[in-house]
A and B are shown apart, each in its own frame.
Chain A
Amino acid sequence: EDQVTQSPEALRLQEGESSSLNCSYTVSGLRGLFWYRQDPGKGPEFLFTLYSAGEEKEKERLKATLTKKESFLHITAPKPEDSATYLCAVRGNSGTYKYIFGTGTRLKVLA
């Protein structure tokens, strides 16, 4: 069964303190791994899509990487406005068109 596990559940960083969030996955036939940012009470906001092991994507202070078993979201020199929940999702070949989401990492960046 397709599964996504994110760690840590919560992370507190000082402004400027770089770190990485982990997304481990098992999926039958990866058709895409997706990162989203979600602010409290809001819908998820799309960040990145990765398709193949070794692929990397960057956007401002965020960089996403992918291996055959996990993905990392690296946050370089974070700012308080980066505080949010970061969700990872995968789409496989299950045939139901569903995207499997992890429970997210709640990031708090302190000024």
Chain B
Amino acid sequence: ETGVTQSPTHLIKTRGQQVTLRCSSQSGHNTVSWYQQALGQGPQFIFQYYREEENGRGNFPPRFSGLQFPNYSSELNVNALELDDSALYLCASSSGKRQGLKNAGELFFGEGSRLTVL
């Protein structure tokens, strides 16, 4: 069973540029969520994808967008980068079968992509 993998692990961009981060979900999982974790803070929910559709979004502007592919892998795109976008971006996969149940399932995280905006 393969875990959640993310790429790249580190990257440096300048203000105004665009970035694409990639994630492969854990085997058997069809739901992918993206979180932003600033230094010293807990992860903040960006959005979730289930069966290639965005089905939940946190308080992030539209310049944060995403995609999910038929193989359940996902991309996070951020346009017009700002200094405050510097953070660890975490991808988490889970089983979509649990979404409709009373008890929510756990998230399984990748190692993250560390983005630095200069």
Contact = CB atoms under 8 A, between A and B. Distances in A.
A42 interface: yes
B43 A31 contact: no
Interface string B2-23: 0010100000000000000000
Contact of A41 (B42, B43, B114): B114
Interface residues on A, range: 20 to 34
Contacts of A100: 45
A71 to B, nearest CB: 14
B44 interface: yes
B57 interface: yes
Interface residues on B, range: 20 to 34
Contacts of A32: 103-106
Nearest to A29: B102
Contact of B42 (A46, A97, A102): A102
A42 B104 contact: no
A99 B102 contact: no
A99 B56 contact: no
A103 B42 contact: yes
B27 to A, nearest CB: 16
B26 to A, nearest CB: 11
Contact of B90 (A43, A49, A91, A95): A43
Contact of A51 (B44, B56, B103, B112): B103
Contacts of A89: 42-43
26 contacts: A32-B103, A34-B107, A43-B4, A43-B6, A43-B90, A43-B109, A43-B110, A43-B112, A46-B106, A46-B107, A46-B109, A49-B106, A96-B45, A96-B56, A96-B57, A97-B48, A97-B55, A97-B56, A97-B99, A98-B45, A98-B48, A99-B33, A99-B43, A99-B107, A101-B35, A104-B42
Interface of B: 4, 6, 33, 35, 40-45, 48, 55-58, 88, 90, 99, 102-112, 114
